[in-house]
Structure formats: C-alpha cells, structure tokens
Amino acid sequence: MDDLLREFLTETNESLDVVDVELVRFEQEPNNAKILDNIFRLVHTIKGTCGFLGLPRLEALAHAAETLMGKFRDGMPVTVDAVSLVLSTIDRLKDILGGLEQNQQEPDGADGDLIGELERLAVGAAADARGAKSTAGSLTYQVLERALRPGEVSLDELERAFRETAIERPAVTDGKVARPERRLAAEDEERVESKVASQSIRVNVDALETLMTMVSELVLTRNQLLEIVRRHEDSEFKVPLQRLSSVTAELQEGVMKTRMQPIGNAWQKLPRVIRDLAAELGKEIELDMHGADTELDRQVLDLIKDPLTHMVRNSADHGLETPDVRRAANKPEKGTIRLSAYHQGGYIIIEISDDGRGLNTDKIRRKAVELGLASEAEAEKMSETQVHKFIFAAGFSTAAQITSVSGRGVGMDVVRNNIDQIGGTIDVKSVPGEGSSFTIKIPLTLAIVSALIVEAGGERFAIPQLSVVELVRAQANSEHRIERIKDTPVLRLRNKLLPLIHLRRLLAIGEGDAEPENGFIVVTQVGSQTFGVVVDGVFHTEEIVVKPMSTKLRHISMFSGNTILGDGAVIMIIDPNGIAQTVGAAPAVAESEQQRDAKTEKMVSLLVFRAGSPQPKAVPLSLVTRLEEIDCRKIELSNGRHLVQYRGQLMPLVRVNDEVRVRTEGTQPLLVFSDSGRSMGLVVDEIVDIVEDTLDIEVGSDAPGLIGCAVIKGQATEIIDVGHFLPLAYADWFRRKEMSTQALTRSLLLVDDSAFFRNMLSPVLKAAGYEVTAVAAPSEALALIKKGGRYDVVVSDIEMPGMNGFELAEAIRGERGTAIPIIALSSITSPAALERGRQAGFKDFVAKFDRQGLIAALKESTIEWVEAA
Amino acid sequence: MNTERDTIDERVTEYVTVMIGSQLFGLPIARVQDVFMPERLTRVPLAPPEIAGVLNLRGRIVTAIDMRRRLGLPPRTGTRPAMAVGIELNGESYGLLIDSVGEVMKLADASREPNPVNLDARWAGVSGGVHRLDGQLMVILDVDRVLDMANTAVAA
C-alpha cells in the first residue's frame, strides 16, 4: 500500500471516530456551534482528501453529509433522524474504508439510498430553516465581538480556507495555480496547521515496542551493575553508575510515557454504542464519563477495550430498566451509566456502575445450580457476594431473552479472563433496586511491575505488589503468631481469621523442614478473597521486568512469569490468582469466619480435644479465644490453684475434670477463654482436631461442666459447658459487671431451638444482669407473652422449625402493639436478611457467636426501652 | 539421474558430539546455538522432573533440561561441572544439560541407521537414528523430540 493511502486511512478513521463522538454530543447540545464546526471541518477534510485521491464513493457520501451539516449550521433544527442518518453515513464510510484497506481500491457499490436521504433532508430542511430564520433568528453564526488582531483570521475566512485547502493540494501537484485571493487565506491556515503538525509525529507501534524492550533490558543491566558495585565499597564506578542509574530511570519513564494513552481512547466508541443501544432497547440512557484523560499503557488499553465495551453494553441491557419500570420504582426515567477511571498507586482503577435494578441474586443462584456450579444446598448457604461471583463463571448468562445486545453466554467470563491475563482484578457490588458497580484494578503497564521479593525454602520469589495488602511479621508469643487448627495454619488479624498458606508447602520446596513459627505473612488479596502467604523472609521491593514462562513450564498455575533480578539470578513470579484457587479449594477452615457462618447455618466449628478420658470432648471453636501450648515450667502453684503468667497477667488454669493432670514437664495444651480482659486456661490432655458438624445434643447430662453428648464426625463426643468453668477460675466471673439491682429487674426472653445455644447464652446473659427465660420454640415464647409475661427484651434465633424468627417478631408486634425490642441472633447476616429483619421489627441483628456484640446490643436497646417506658 | 543419486549419497550432516552417561550422542550442528557452562541454575518448583531449572544466559532466560533424567539415566556423580548445549525452539531458549562436549563430526547421511527395534522406548522417543563410528555408536538426538516433554510419559 502506498504511504499516502495508508496515512489517509489512519487519519480518516481517526477523524470518523471523533465525528462519531461529536455527533452524539451534538445531538444533545444542538446549539453548540463549536461542536458542529468541528464535525463540519472533519467531514469536509475527508471529502477534500477523497477527491484528491480519486475515491468517488467516499467523496460523494462525505459531500452529501457535509451538505446536510451545512444546513444544521444554517439553523436547521437538529432531529434524531437526521443525526441517525449522518451516523449511518459514517458507518458506510467506515465500511468503504475497510474495503479500501484490504484491496487498495474502493469496493463496488452504490450509495444512492443514503445520498438521496441526506439530500432530501437537506432540501426539505432548507425551506423550514428559512421560515425559522425570519422569526427566531439564527444562533449558529458566531460573530466576533472585537476587531481581529494581526494574524487572526475571521471565521468566514477560516471556513473558506477549509473549503480551499483540501482542493489546493491537488492544485499543487497538478501544477495548477489557485486563485490568488484564496491563496492568502489558505496559506495562513496552512501555517497554523503545520505548526501543530510539527509538534507531533506518527511513530510505528512496533518501533515503540522495540524501544520498550530495549529499555527493559537496560533496566536489568543497570540493576546488575548496581548489584556488583554494591559489593565493592570504594568503587570508582560508583558516581558514573549513579548517573547511569538516574538516566536509565528517566529514560524508562520517558519511553513509558510514549506508550501511555488516555483511557478515553478506549471509551471513544461508547457514546455511540450507548446511543444506538438506547434506541434499540427503548431505554433512556445517560453515559457519564469521568477521568477520560487517565493514562495507561497502550498494550493494557488494547486488552481492556473490548471488556469495557462489553460491560457497558451489559449495564445498558441487563442493568438499566425501561422507563416505565423506572418510573414505577420512583427513579428518574433516564438511567445513568457511570464510567470512571483514576490512578491509585501504580494501578488504574476503572469503575462501571449503573443505577439500574442490580443483580438478581436468586436468578443467579438458580442458574448456578442449573449449570452445576454449586449444589442447591451450597447455593442456598452462600452470601450474596459469593453468589454474585458466579456471573464471572464460563457460560453464565442469566438474560431470560437472548438479545442482540448481550446474553449470548460469552460475557463476563471473557471479561474476567482478559483482566486476569493482564494481572488485574475485577469485583462486583450490587444492591437490588439501586444498581450494580464493577471495579477493575489493573496495572498501568505490563512490562515492568513492582514486586516484593521474598524467600521461601532457600529460594527467592517475586510477588506482584498489586495483590499485596500488607506485611505481618509473625513471631511466637507475639500478638501476631501463626496458630494451627489441626494442620491448617491461621492468623488472627484484626478480629478476623486469615487462612494462611505456607509458600514452601504450596510449592513443595524445603519439605521435611519444620514449618517455622517465625516468618513473614504477606497478606494478599485477590478479588474479595484475602489470605496470608507465609514466607521465610522478605527482602525488598524491586521493579522487575516480567518475562513469560517457558512453554514447558506454563502449566504451573502458581507462576505468572519469571524475571532476572539485579544480581543476575532468575526467579519465579508468583501468581496470586493461582494461589487463590488453591486456597479456595482447601478445606472450609481456610475461609474467613464470616463466610463460614453464612455458609453453614447449623454447622458449627467444634474444637475436639481429649481430657481425662479417651472419649473425645468438644467445645464450639468460636468460644475459644486461643489455643496455647505453654511450657510446663511456667505453671505455678499458688494456694492450691494452678496459675500461669500469660501476656503480662496471671491466668488461672482450670482442669476439665479431676482426671486431667496438669503436666510437669514438656508443654501443656490449653484452651484459653477471654472475656473483658480476663483470661482463663482450660487444661486438656490433647487438642485433637477442628471439625465442622451440626451440633445436636442427643443425650443431656447432669455432670458438672457437661452440656451433654452429641455425635461429632461419627463419634460420641461430650460437649463441655464453658459457662461452668468460668466461675471456677474467677468466682465473680458472672457477677462482677453490670450487676446492679436495677439491671436485675430487666427480664429477657431467649428463644432458640438449640439447647446448646440456650445453655451457652443463658449464663452469659445472666452475667450481664438479665433475668433469663429460655424457651425452645417461638410458639412457647408467644404463649408466654400472651399470658401476660412481661419481658424487657426478646432475643431470638432466626432459623427455627415451625415458626421462624421473622414470623415471631411480626407476631409479637401484633400481639402487644408496643415496641418490645427484639434482637435477632443469627448466623445469617446477609444484607437481604438484615433488611427482612428490620421489616419484621427486629431492633438489631447480632451474629450468633458475638457475645460482646449481643451484650452491647442488649444494653443499647434496653436503655432506650426503659427510657421510653 | 545418476548424479542426483550421487548428491543424496554424498549429503553429510555435521554433528556436535556430547557424552551423557557413558553414551555418545550427536546433535545436528544446525540446531546448536552455543555450548555453555550452566551457572546459577534456579530450580522451578512444581516443574516436571526433566526440567533442571532456569538460568540467565546473557540476559535471556534459558530453560535447562536434565538430559540424564530425560533419558532415564542415574543422576550425575563426580565433581566435573555439567555442560549445556544451547538450543532454540519457537523463539525460546533451552539448554540441554550433558556431561561433556566432544567434537564436531561430519557424517554422511547414507551411513545413518535406523533405531534398533529393541532400543529402550525412552531413548527411541528422542533418537533420530544411529551412526556406527570406530569403536563406538553415536545416537542422534532429535532436538524437537527431546523438547517434546509429552512423549516422556510413554517410557515412564
């Protein structure tokens, strides 16, 4: 293809893209003469160039479009039809350009249809416009309110110049002489243009690509040199090397800059897409774009272009409702899709949100079951956020009707794959009735990333900073230490249980070595999944150049690539997505407590241990603050009681029963229970395991300290009553706080079908100063209230056979007509359940094991209640 | 006609000979990029056992293949460092770890013999034939098949 034609194609395609965007804007602001001028100018240039290159089809079309646009300038009212027509003309132009690019000549075809339409509109409008002009006057001709300064050109002149310049080019080549009076103006304009032109040049993308590779190599070599010089203290290379280093850094930045493009380039087509979609779907849609000038690497830009378009289409199609539905929901008829981009650290965050109907959780859930992504039971137990995640699964599309817009089952999974590929993450948040919002986090550039260099099993690895949330130093006997549940390591981090993964074990290196208690935990986040990666050491962060893995090694999902470090060694780059997948596949313990609660309504994590007898004993894990193994030499005997110095306090030790012996050598396993700053250690023989099971106490027990017996993982297990042991440690455990006489007058009705929870909570509530009446069924509770029983507060479970908590709350409301505060006690804390609860009349929602939260909620509501009464 | 047959008969291939275990192998010289001493080999966790690791060779990342493992031979003993033969395939660099490098030999294609039918399957999978030399046999290593790890499983 000859250079002239190639340049023409690039330029014209770009111009047409701009015209596309401008036209949509123009339709919204028909009085903005500036936009119109811009469109006019672009179309005019295209026309002129086509004439010059001998492309009659293009020229005729552009000419017809220009004529119509000229009429707009003359004050013809701008109609949707007219704009649509011009837009389809532009589409036709693009088609022809496509053909031109392939065959280097205009494809055959007739454009009489479009040209006819364009002319008809232009002629028809001309008559209208004349009428309008005489009455309303024209807005479009801009009149300069001051005299022209030297060198300035009047608008008229300028316009004429535009008309002439394009035609003038052939004049020069053909050796014809243009009329002199025109020539002057044209030259003026040409001068302005050339000044702009000389400030930017077109560079082949491949050339930039090569440049980037070279710079990457340079960075590596620089790093190697720095490493060498570091080893030689008084090297004379030091100063020049420092200079080289800073020049390299600047060069790197400079080259990166040449590759940067505003994200607006990827958005350019969206206004048109949305406009056409709105027409097709009969919706009113406003596209709100922020941060279009946010820059990112063109390689990344290319990769997210399609996903972005797809997501915006999705929002328009699935997200937003039709105007009448919106009206019915008290929303403005016009739906809004908001697109925003901004920088954060070395990353760019793109958000796509709409104010539509939100994701349909139930539908997704059903579909997930249908597709076999989850069993029905699993799906039921999942939180909304978990369910929403399914939209990223392959072949997932819930659109009941497959429209031409979206819903072909190649949707969000493709989006997610594309984003995964560039090391980014995507997350979704959705509120029913209020809309959904997708957040994409991607690195600014792919070639060079900032990574944390860590050590595990004697080898170094790089972890991309993108997914690193924080670093925690784990040390035995410190606040942050690695605890073990059976063999699964976990970390308590700000009241959350963080699943840990030993990098050594994950990569099967340094096996046989004991897993160290001291190490660093790289808290890593992938999507909404957080976990800790335990490493032996952390070195520093380094800008690394990502090199793809050898094809022979690409199947290892733990690595996303490799790189050469400053010292010349090759190391692997860890892929957090790969790790996240293994964490996800690990046993349920690896999930956060909250998720587990949501998942397993009646499933309880139980700590199984042995004490005194070979028969296993168990206690709900959530009641246990910590598991300890303490050095027996630290156990002191005072006044017949065993004590140990623990975290700066003396902690009494209590034996589960008399058969348990407090060891005198080695280490002593303890279950530590803490409450309000006091701790007690329960002495056991052996901590066996942590299991998830339903807790069904089948045989009650009168033995002190035992609630009863239950079958746990197929074995009869004694369930111990923590409430029994607490007063053994501190006689006043239940009496010391909030125990005023006034408090005692407060009565509380506890409704829970599980004997275990009734037994568990009663002492706690009593301790907080309530007179507790515990019943097993809502019907019993209602009967008591009907009989005239007066309670200051009701605490009720939600999931109960027969009547559930919501129904109970509604019934109590109906019964008394007054506002007894009712507090829901539930393992389900999804937003939907919360909302349902609030509607039913629950004052507060407390997670089942959150004793402190329960006490706080009780205090708050009873104070209000007492005050109100 | 006669001349054509002659050229076929006269066609020769140059081989770089290497020792792996006690066996002499030959690699077609056209496929050999360079011979180097592998240094600072980084193990790749979870990699197939034949992959000894990766290393940095003048700024390129080279995947090192342990030829002894590839051929089912016992690991190397002794103190002499291993050598590596650099090979390129589809734009990627590989290094075949061998015991030592011999010489370059020009051998007529006509004298190449097919693999003996009873050759160990693992070897047959990577061998492109045998040349009889004075006093020993040279097995021709088919580089493409050596790098095709999928066919290791056959013999394993």
A with B: how many residue pairs have Cβ under 8 Å apart? 58
Instruction: Measure the CA–CA gap between A687 and A627, rounded to whole angstroms.
Output: 9
Strands A334-344 and A347-354: antiparallel
What does the block give as tokens for A327?
Answer: 């009206």
Three-state DSSP at A457 gives coil
What does the block give as tokens for A614?
Answer: 């070979």
The closest CB to that of B149, out of A552, A556, A558, belongs to A552
**Per residue of chain B (156 residues), what is the pLDDT tens digit?**
444 455 555 788 999 999 998 899 999 998 998 999 998 899 999 999 899 999 988 778 899 999 999 998 888 877 677 899 999 888 789 999 999 999 999 998 888 899 888 888 888 888 999 999 888 899 999 999 898 876 554 433
Instruction: Measure the CA–CA gap between A548 and A422, rounded to whole angstroms.
Output: 12
Ordered structural domains, chain A, with CATH: 3-142 (1.20.120.160), 205-260 (1.10.287), 264-443 (3.30.565.10), 448-594 (2.40.50.180), 600-729 (2.40.50.180), 741-868 (3.40.50.2300)
Amino acid at A561: G
**Is the Cβ of B92 closer than 8 Å to some Cβ of chain A?**
yes
Three-state DSSP at A735 gives coil
What does the block give as tokens for A543?
Answer: 């800008």
What does the block give as tokens for A613?
Answer: 């007898």
Instruction: Measure the CA–CA gap between A576 and A527, rounded to whole angstroms.
Output: 10
Half-sphere exposure of A255 (CA within 13 A, CB side): 22
**Is the Cβ of B51 closer than 8 Å to some Cβ of chain A?**
yes
What does the block give as tokens for A188?
Answer: 């003026």
Question: Mutate which of A222, A553, A559 to test chain B, going by most B C-beta atoms within 10 A?
Answer: A553
In angstroms, what separates the C-alpha of A570 from chain B's closest C-alpha? 6
What's the burial of B17, exposed, middle or buried (CB within 10 Å: 0-12/13-18/19+)?
buried
What's the burial of A721, exposed, middle or buried (CB within 10 Å: 0-12/13-18/19+)?
buried
**Is the Cβ of B154 closer than 8 Å to some Cβ of chain A?**
no
pLDDT digits (tens, 9 = 90+) for A92-115: 888 888 888 887 777 777 778 888
Instruction: Measure the CA–CA gap between A821 and A862, rounded to whole angstroms.
Output: 7
Considering only CB atoms, which chain A residues are within 8 Å of B51?
A: 552-553
Whether B59 sits inside 8 A of A459 (CB atoms) is no
Output phi, psi for A488, to 5 deg. Answer: -90, 120
Instruction: Measure the CA–CA gap between A511 and A502, rounded to whole angstroms.
Output: 11
Whether B43 sits inside 8 A of A459 (CB atoms) is yes
Instruction: Measure the CA–CA gap between A264 and A431, rounded to whole angstroms.
Output: 28
Three-state DSSP at A31 gives coil
The closest CB to that of B46, out of A221, A507, A569, belongs to A507
**Is the Cβ of B40 closer than 8 Å to some Cβ of chain A?**
yes
Instruction: Measure the CA–CA gap between A43 and A90, rounded to whole angstroms.
Output: 9
Considering only CB atoms, which chain B residues are within 8 Å of A221?
A: 59
The closest CB to that of B45, out of A509, A568, A569, belongs to A509
- CA distance to A166, A172, A190, per residue, from A175 (Å): 15, 5, 18
Q: Which residues contact A849 (CB under 8 A, 6 or more apart)?
A: A597, A620, A622, A623
Residue A592 DSSP code = -
What are A430's strand-pairing partners? A436
What's the burial of A145, exposed, middle or buried (CB within 10 Å: 0-12/13-18/19+)?
exposed
In angstroms, what separates the C-alpha of B96 from chain A's closest C-alpha? 14
The closest CB to that of B40, out of A221, A550, A569, belongs to A569
The phi-psi region of residue A676 (left if phi > 0; otherwise alpha if psi is between -120 and 50; otherwise beta) is left
In angstroms, what separates the C-alpha of A455 from chain B's closest C-alpha? 13
What does the block give as tokens for A135?
Answer: 């009455």
Measured torsion, CA atoms of residues A55, A60, A65, A67, in degrees rounded to the nearest 10: 130
Tell me how crowded residue A651 is: count the other CB atoms within 10 A of its CB. Answer: 22
Considering only CB atoms, which chain B residues are within 8 Å of A562?
A: 54, 61
Taking each helix axis as running N to C, give the angle between helix A805-816 and helix A831-840, from 0 to 180 degrees, rounded to the nearest 10. 20
Whether B44 sits inside 8 A of A572 (CB atoms) is yes
- Taking alpha carbons only, the member of A408, A366, A412, A359 closest to residue A388 is A359
Three-state DSSP at A310 gives helix
- CA distance to A534, A710, B7, B16, B18, per residue, from B105 (Å): 53, 80, 19, 6, 11
What does the block give as tokens for A354?
Answer: 């709409």
The closest CB to that of B63, out of A553, A569, A571, belongs to A553
pTM above 0.80, yes or no: no
- Taking alpha carbons only, the member of A688, A668, A670 closest to residue A679 is A670
Per-residue model confidence (pLDDT) at position A157: 57
pLDDT beneath 70, residues of chain A: 1-2, 124-199, 345-346, 394-395, 397-411, 445-447, 511-517, 584-604, 675-677, 695-702, 727, 731-745, 755-756, 767-769, 815-819, 827-831, 848-852, 862-869
Three-state DSSP at A789 gives coil
- The residue written with tokens 């944390």 in the block is A452
Cβ distance A545 to A563 under 8 Å? yes
- CA distance to A19, A31, A44, A170, A264, per residue, from A37 (Å): 11, 11, 10, 24, 22
The closest CB to that of B59, out of A553, A556, A564, belongs to A564
- The residue written with tokens 């005299």 in the block is A147
Amino acid at B18: V
3-state secondary structure A192-246: HHHHHHCCCCCCCHHHHHHHHHHHHHHHHHHHHHHHHHHHCCCCCCHHHHHHHHH
In angstroms, what separates the C-alpha of B51 from chain A's closest C-alpha? 9
- Taking alpha carbons only, the member of A95, A90, A120 closest to residue A22 is A90
Output phi, psi for B74, to 5 deg. Answer: -65, 155
Whether B42 sits inside 8 A of A547 (CB atoms) is no
With the C-alpha atoms ordered A512, A513, A516, A522, is the resulting torsion angle positive or negative?
Answer: negative
Considering only CB atoms, which chain B residues are within 8 Å of A459?
A: 42-43, 45
Q: Which residues contact B13 (CB under 8 A, 6 or more apart)?
A: B28, B29, B106, B107, B109
Cβ distance A361 to A384 under 8 Å? yes
Instruction: Measure the CA–CA gap between A863 and A162, rounded to whole angstroms.
Output: 79
Residues of A with CB under 8 A from a CB of B: 217, 220-221, 459, 507-509, 547, 550-553, 556, 558-559, 562, 564, 568-572
- Taking CA atoms, what residue in A is nearest to B55? A570
Please give the helix or strand (H or E) that residue A123 lies within, else none. helix A112-136
The phi-psi region of residue A612 (left if phi > 0; otherwise alpha if psi is between -120 and 50; otherwise beta) is left
Question: Mutate which of B42, B55, B148 to test chain A, going by most A C-beta atoms within 10 A?
Answer: B42
Instruction: Measure the CA–CA gap between B15 and B111, rounded to whole angstroms.
Output: 14
Instruction: Measure the CA–CA gap between A81 and A122, rounded to whole angstroms.
Output: 12
Cβ distance B84 to B37 under 8 Å? yes
Half-sphere exposure of A256 (CA within 13 A, CB side): 19
Question: Mutate which of A570, A574, A575 to test chain B, going by most B C-beta atoms within 10 A?
Answer: A570
Question: Mutate which of B50, B61, B62 to test chain A, going by most A C-beta atoms within 10 A?
Answer: B61
- Taking alpha carbons only, the member of A440, A398, A208, A429 closest to residue A306 is A440
Q: Which ipTM score applies to this complex?
A: 0.86
Whether B44 sits inside 8 A of A217 (CB atoms) is no
Instruction: Measure the CA–CA gap between A311 and A398, rounded to whole angstroms.
Output: 15
**Is the Cβ of B148 closer than 8 Å to some Cβ of chain A?**
no
- Taking CA atoms, what residue in A is nearest to B91? A550
- CA distance to A846, A848, A859, per residue, from A796 (Å): 10, 10, 16
Instruction: Measure the CA–CA gap between A757 and A673, rounded to whole angstroms.
Output: 17
**Is the Cβ of B43 closer than 8 Å to some Cβ of chain A?**
yes
The closest CB to that of A570, out of B45, B48, B61, belongs to B61
In angstroms, what separates the C-alpha of B13 from chain A's closest C-alpha? 29
Domain ranges of chain B: 7-149
Whether A550 sits inside 8 A of B63 (CB atoms) is yes
Whether A550 sits inside 8 A of B61 (CB atoms) is yes
The CATH number of B7-149, from 2.40.50.180, 3.10.105.10, 2.60.40.420, 3.40.50.300, is 2.40.50.180
**Is the Cβ of B42 closer than 8 Å to some Cβ of chain A?**
yes
